Structure 1
Amino acid sequence: MKTFIFNLCIGTALSICTTYGQTAETTPIYLDDSQPIEARVQDALSRMTIEEKVRLSYAQGKFTSPGCSRLGIPELWYTDGPHGVRAEINWNDWGYSGWTNDSCTAFPALTCLAATWNPELSGKYGKAIGEEARYREKDVLLGPGVNIYRTPLNGRNFEYMGEDPYLASEMCVPYIQEVQKNGVAACVKHYALNNQELWRNHINVQVSDRALYEIYLPAFKAAVERGGTWTIMGAYNKVRGTHATHHKLLNNDILKGDWKFDGCVVTDWGAAHDTYEAAMYGLDLEMGSYTNGLTSESAFGYDDYYLGKNYLKMIKEGKIPMEVVNDKVARILRLIFRTAMNKNKPYGSMTTQEHYQTAYDIATEGTVLLKNGNRKEQAGLLPLQSDKYKRILVVGDNATRNLMTGGGSSELKPKNFISPLEGIREKFGNVIYAQGYMAGRDMFGRVDEIPQSVMDSLRNDAITKAADADLIIYVGGLNKNHQQDCEGGDRLSYNLPFGQDELIRSLAKVNKNIVVVLLSGNAVAMPWLDEVPSVIQGWYFGTVTGKALADVLSGEVNPSGKLPFSYPVKLEDCPAHAFDALCYPGDSINEIYREDILVGYRWYDTKKIRPMFPFGHGLSYTAFDYSKPMASAKKMKQDETIKFTVKVKNTGKVMGKEIIQLYIGDEKCSVLRPVKELKGFQKITLQPGEEKEVTFTIGSDALKFFDETQHKWIAEPGKFKAYIGSSSSDIRGTVSFELI
């Protein structure tokens, strides 16, 4: 239907070409995709009336914005991501359309992608999800998310790529590039400082320039300058008193000024608040401003959007310069020509074996082995030997739960789903199940109150069965209920919900052979950690959950994921929670980021606080030895580079993948700097006994900090140290060098 309408519109446009002094046989420049895109943009722009220009800038449905039918310029269609193409939504309300052909591949959540530390897999992720979006004839995929992990209570952390700006930058770029090869625009979100869900629509973030430029903006900058993203989504929250989605500093000065972004700034749905600010401060496309459209005959329709009739009125009154209007229109036209009018884009594909394989590779490479053995009491249980355990008990609500349901806009309708219990039974055979706890959820993601008698009965059943089992595999964690890993609300506690901490301890008392598998998008407290021998951090794995998990448990796949964020022992250790309530969650009006640049491991290193599990941590079923690292020089100039090399050997009996991490520390500086910061990583595969040499090359950019007095990046001459290791805490060697 969409293609038919497009062809009809082109025919209409050609039939009226004589109006512009052309013959019917001559294709207008804007319709000729052999012409340079900027020539096409300017040609189309010159033909449009003011009314047509304005109409491009706001929605015509929940997930569509118009083109210009008179000129044969088609509309745009959007879809939620970033973990899969969401089921079809009704035109004018948030209900699902009830289609039978809109099921998708549910890919692992972006926390899992970040935990792979594998940019090549990120590219494969983008290619696959881009193909599915293209198959569904979507023009804009709302993802990836690159907001920084500031607190483990943020309900939307599972959609992001962790606490470190360098890791998030390196992992988002291939995703964006490969999505857009399908003629589908990536929409990087949420720009910027959208780091909590509580009061997200109005909380006013106060942050220093250093923290803004060093921590919260680098991934967005990489998405623009290296990823070439075609759209950016403005955030709900305020920044320094102004809503982020129409913010002069963020949009005009930084995004479109410093970074030369030539794409569209799109609102998050309902994030616009003022016509003049939206017009003047960089917003291009307004979506979802809380109208029921035509379905309820509401007095508030699409023309009542901030960039609707009031915007048109202000233009005609001379309050909005035409160069501002034309810049917006040019950006939207550029987006349309890159997507909806791109004749060279591929056809796309849906739920293919290749897509399932990509999802599986990400899930298995992103799985993090947190613990495998108590130092003195018990060896690790993993990998599991199928012939050793005659009676395996699986416990936990997440063992059977479809974790693609809920979570907000990232909710998915997978064509296929393998639950953890199904995967474990397929792999190990003789498996019994006990639910252990119940995580109720109503249709809105809110948690139902489960009667205590029901919870007691479930727990007692699990404990009774545990006493007779040879092995317990506990599959719990969080889910996508409201106030867990879910859009629209932050977690209320750092502990596991639904009495899971008490349940795990009770199970461990009756049976020491217990493997705890946590499925979540956030760190959790683990008061039972010393009582269990083996712990796996899984994520929201999507379609392939059960198979990926079972293959890691059995050792068919050696886990190689590393944590993309730190796990504090207790919430108060986390920098966002180390100050007063104004630091987090704020007073409902304002919030001050008092930890400044010391986010995540930067805080734990500098304050000498030992986390439960450090950033970059992840064990393996084999072991790796590191040689002493070497530097190519002892000194470097501002315009030079320096190389660091280290040899890594697999000293175990099975193949494994290791992630070698490079951190740089400034030994003496005029401003506070973290002990060290991630500046490089490589993931390598090693067979038993195999050794490889890894080389990192850095320039002076890796040594710089943002100087607030000069408002620029600088590297002060002096002594620096390179740290090479297996995690931010497991440093295997250091090299000193000097910037002269």
Structure 2
Amino acid sequence: MLGMLASNAINSNGNDIEAMVEMLLNRMTLEEKVRLSYAQSKFSSPGVPRLGVPEVYTSDGPHGVRMEINWNNWDHAGWTNDSCTAFPALTCLAATWQPELASLYGRMVGEEARYRNKTVLLGPGVNLYRTPLNGRNFEYMGEDPYLASRMCVPYIQGLQSNGVACCVKHYALNEQEIFRNHVDVRVSDRAMYELYLRPFHAAVTEGGAWSIMGSYNQYLNQHATHNARLINDILKNEWGFDGAVITDWGAAHNTNEAIFNGLDLEMGSFTDGLSTEASINSYDDYYLGRAYLEKCRKGEVPDSIINDKARRMLRLILRTGMATNRGFGVMNSPEHVAAARQIAQEGIVLLKNNGILPLVPKDKMKILVVGENATRSLCAGGGSSELKPRDEVSPLRGIKERFGDRCIVEYAKGYESGRAMFGEVDVLPQALYDSLRNEAVEKAKNADYVIYVGGLNKNHTQDCEGGDREHYQLPFSQDRLITELLTANSNTVLVIVSGNAYDMPWLDKAPALVQSWYLGSEAGHALADIISGDVCPSGKLPFSFACQLADYPAHKMGAVGYPGVSPDKLPQPFGGEEGKPMSSAGLLKAAVEGWKGINFCNEPGNGSMKNETEIYGEDILLGYRWFDYFKTKVRFPFGFGLSYTTFNYSKPAIDGRTVSVLVSNCGKVAGQEVVQFYVGDDKSSVIRPVKELKHFEKVALQPGETKQISYTIDDEDLKYFDEEKHEWVAEHGTFTVYVGASAADIRGKVKYKY
């Protein structure tokens, strides 16, 4: 009877859910409450079978529903009906600057997760882009917290409309993969609130996220997944989060901290999260397993904590697996494929074009496609983001389908990267590189056009979980290959696939450069749509491309800024007081003075547990904020992207709090422009960025068409976080609103007095 009641009484009304939570809680034994808080397999946790409460089934990831993994080990289960639609990586979604597409993306991937009967989808990732070496930047949404916030909220809402919970990750301060399991991040409160916590705050307070994933790293010498300040103080008390906190796989380290510091569901302990198997009975040995139960039985854990964890897990289940309005889901529908293609189209960024693009096909025109990424599956590898798409259209296939009826399309591999192995690099002989390069260059001499498709991939030390890139250059001798191709054929279009910025020693000679991302199932079609001009490019960069690695402040500081140093090597004033946040004012003063007199350590720690501390010494000056403040030239700025048409901006006008600008399409083809509004405080009592993104709008315009774009200033847009008061503060004075096509292409300014 109770099982029927639990199955049938839940709907979308929050009051009904809370009533059911309390009803179930009152009928549960202590053992049943505790058992909700730890895994029963690699990707699931138990419900309460006696009361009809179903299990929780989680799945990677934010770009599509991962293939099935075995119940008790990390091998692929070998199903034949678990192929998915692979959506573009979230870096591509951010590059669309289109919240409506984020909503569509979330809804589509949620339908596939629902069809596969998943309760929780592990994503989206909203960590910020601090270094271009971070192996997981491709999973995130760039360097700006406002852009990440505006894109993650509709994604979450679209996903959860299917009765599938998002699990926003990785909370928090997880901006690298090297030393990720233990690096102790030190950051000021101001930088944390203004930058690194903002997308998570938006996900919780605006997106209504139902679960959050705790990250591997430490903050203030305590692991983030059971960190008292991050979870109890900020997430649950300040923000009022009522969902479940779930570990990243293997991120728990301590029973007492897990009990008392807000962790609700423990996954993957006593494995490395990736390869190690666990025996079926070992789940009871988890930190929130038998040890937690024994403490409860001894009266060492208050009922309030026991019941809070159980409530949160019950609430998660009632919102998902037991929701009557959950629907049935859809898998690999034409609508899903079309959505993946549109998101890829709008996320591709045209970085350079001397007029060679769009490429107009002519009879018997000879096109040579070069590069491993033209044929390689870019859904495989990368760690937990791996996918098994039903159909992955390669760039070579897409180009052949678009140009092959009139043109002769040939292919040369050009370079080889080896197998996608997690945690290992497949080293290939130089003779192989030489042979493949020479073959491609010789063929290029006889082609009318060359389309090069290279870049990074999802091998270890590329765009891959569990390890960072080793350098800023393109791997596999590609810089030499690209240089020789440009010499052999001046009509060479470069398409670089990556989730990160990279060095470009050949840029001046390149007639065209297209920034592609991991585009998913429809990669080849979307890329051909852009190259051919069937679709006008409209993507904008979600992060800055610096001229060299040392221009990023994380790398200017030496190893203390990335990837971390032994605590005894911390320079002053960066050591900070143990257990307390660092001072923003002190960090900024040191940064502005060029860190003069500070003896930086350039040697990272040895990688042993709890042996690295890392200082976010750039403080609030992340990304374009740093380059603006210090007037540092970048190769391509945040928000940059070219089009096949041109847009004219009128002089902006302000009426009260509303800033308006007229934007016109002055070209001959329809296109979309992302109009960006930044706000800067002209005179402040504290150091502030020159400007910060506060609004953007993507507008579609026909040739000759003009539209008015407006932005209304909100008090929140004027504030900074005051560490002393622990509150957001706006100082009275004059602010400048910058209207532009990128962070470096400002088309007009207006003043606003507050």
TM-score bracket for this pair, using the shorter chain length: over 0.9
Question: What are the residue-to-residue correspondences of 1:124-139 with 2, within 5 Å?
Answer: 124-139=104-119
Q: 1:487 to 1:397 in 2, by over 3 A?
A: same
CA distance in 1, matches of 2:278, 2:93: 44
Aligned residue in 2 for 1:650: 665
Write the letter of the residue equivalent to 1:363. Answer: A
Aligned residue in 1 for 2:417: 439
CA distance in 2, matches of 1:668, 1:443: 52
Of 467, 480, 495 in structure 1, the residue corresponding to residue 445 of structure 2 is 467
Of 609, 614, 618 in structure 2, the residue corresponding to residue 595 of structure 1 is 618
CA distance in 1, matches of 2:370, 2:563: 34
Write the letter of the residue equivalent to 2:288. Answer: L
Aligned residue in 1 for 2:219: 239
Q: Does the residue aligned with 2:134 lie in a helix, a strand or coil?
A: coil
CA distance in 2, matches of 1:531, 1:176: 42
CA distance in 2, matches of 1:30, 1:561: 45
Of 628, 632, 656 in structure 2, the residue corresponding to residue 605 of structure 1 is 628
The normalised TM-score by structure 1 is 0.93
Of 234, 253, 257 in structure 2, the residue corresponding to residue 277 of structure 1 is 257
Matched, 1:544 2:522: yes
Of 2, 12, 33 in structure 1, the residue corresponding to residue 10 of structure 2 is 33
Contact kept in structure 2, 1:234 and 1:244, CA below 8 Å: yes
Aligned residue in 1 for 2:581: none
Post-superposition Cα deviations, 1:646-668, rounded to whole Å, max 9, x if no partner, equal 00000000000000000000111
Of 452, 455, 460 in structure 2, the residue corresponding to residue 477 of structure 1 is 455
Q: Does the residue aligned with 1:581 lie in a helix, a strand or coil?
A: helix
Question: What are the residue-to-residue correspondences of 1:97-496 with 2, within 5 Å?
Answer: 97-290=77-270, 298=279, 301-373=282-354, 380-387=355-362, 390-429=365-404, 430-444=408-422, 446-496=424-474
Identity of aligned residues (%): 61
Aligned residues: CA RMSD: 1.5
Contact kept in structure 1, 2:209 and 2:243, CA below 8 Å: yes
Aligned residue in 1 for 2:74: 94
Q: 1:647 to 1:389 in 2, by over 3 A?
A: farther
Aligned residue in 2 for 1:669: 684
Contact kept in structure 2, 1:572 and 1:578, CA below 8 Å: yes
Contact kept in structure 2, 1:472 and 1:513, CA below 8 Å: yes
Write the letter of the residue equivalent to 1:307. Answer: L
CA distance in 2, matches of 1:269, 1:144: 16
Post-superposition Cα deviations, 1:36-82, rounded to whole Å, max 9, x if no partner, equal 11110011001111111000000000010000111111111000011
Q: Does the residue aligned with 1:39 lie in a helix, a strand or coil?
A: helix
The normalised TM-score by structure 2 is 0.91
Matched, 1:693 2:708: yes
1:300 is displaced (CA, Å) by 6.8
Of 532, 535, 543 in structure 2, the residue corresponding to residue 557 of structure 1 is 535
Contact kept in structure 2, 1:92 and 1:292, CA below 8 Å: no
Q: Does the residue aligned with 2:713 lie in a helix, a strand or coil?
A: strand
1:28 is displaced (CA, Å) by 4.7
Q: Does the residue aligned with 2:559 lie in a helix, a strand or coil?
A: coil
CA distance in 2, matches of 1:291, 1:481: 22
Contact kept in structure 1, 2:393 and 2:524, CA below 8 Å: yes
Aligned residue in 2 for 1:708: 723
Post-superposition Cα deviations, 1:309-329, rounded to whole Å, max 9, x if no partner, equal 100111122221110110010
Deviates more, 1:514-523 or 1:312-321: 312-321
Contact kept in structure 2, 1:400 and 1:421, CA below 8 Å: yes
Q: Does the residue aligned with 1:121 lie in a helix, a strand or coil?
A: helix
Q: Which segments of 5 or more consecutive residues in structure 1 lack a partner in the other structure?
A: 1-10, 15-26, 374-379, 634-641
CA distance in 2, matches of 1:298, 1:179: 33
Contact kept in structure 2, 1:471 and 1:513, CA below 8 Å: yes
Write the letter of the residue equivalent to 1:69. Answer: P
Q: Does the residue aligned with 2:193 lie in a helix, a strand or coil?
A: helix
Q: Does the residue aligned with 1:424 lie in a helix, a strand or coil?
A: helix
Q: Does the residue aligned with 1:661 lie in a helix, a strand or coil?
A: strand
Q: 1:113 to 1:60 in 2, by over 3 A?
A: same
Q: 1:604 to 1:292 in 2, by over 3 A?
A: closer
Deviates more, 1:200-209 or 1:442-451: 442-451
CA distance in 2, matches of 1:244, 1:298: 27
1:442 is displaced (CA, Å) by 4.8
CA distance in 1, matches of 2:53, 2:157: 25
CA distance in 2, matches of 1:421, 1:475: 9
Q: Does the residue aligned with 2:560 lie in a helix, a strand or coil?
A: coil
Of 52, 56, 80 in structure 1, the residue corresponding to residue 36 of structure 2 is 56
Q: Which segments of 5 or more consecutive residues in structure 2 lack a partner in the other structure?
A: 566-604, 606-611
CA distance in 1, matches of 2:365, 2:152: 44
Post-superposition Cα deviations, 1:422-475, rounded to whole Å, max 9, x if no partner, equal 111111121111111001015436331111111111000011011111111000
1:137 is displaced (CA, Å) by 0.4
CA distance in 2, matches of 1:263, 1:442: 36
Write the letter of the residue equivalent to 1:602. Answer: R
Contact kept in structure 2, 1:29 and 1:43, CA below 8 Å: no
CA distance in 2, matches of 1:457, 1:113: 37
1:32 is displaced (CA, Å) by 2.0
CA distance in 1, matches of 2:713, 2:739: 13
Contact kept in structure 2, 1:389 and 1:471, CA below 8 Å: no
Write the letter of the residue equivalent to 1:245. Answer: T
Contact kept in structure 1, 2:7 and 2:322, CA below 8 Å: no
Post-superposition Cα deviations, 1:670-690, rounded to whole Å, max 9, x if no partner, equal 111110000000000000000
1:31 is displaced (CA, Å) by 5.5
CA distance in 2, matches of 1:654, 1:389: 26
Of 482, 487, 496 in structure 2, the residue corresponding to residue 518 of structure 1 is 496
Contact kept in structure 2, 1:446 and 1:482, CA below 8 Å: yes
Aligned residue in 2 for 1:626: 649
CA distance in 2, matches of 1:483, 1:724: 38
Of 514, 527, 539 in structure 1, the residue corresponding to residue 505 of structure 2 is 527
Write the letter of the residue equivalent to 2:212. Answer: I
Matched, 1:497 2:475: yes
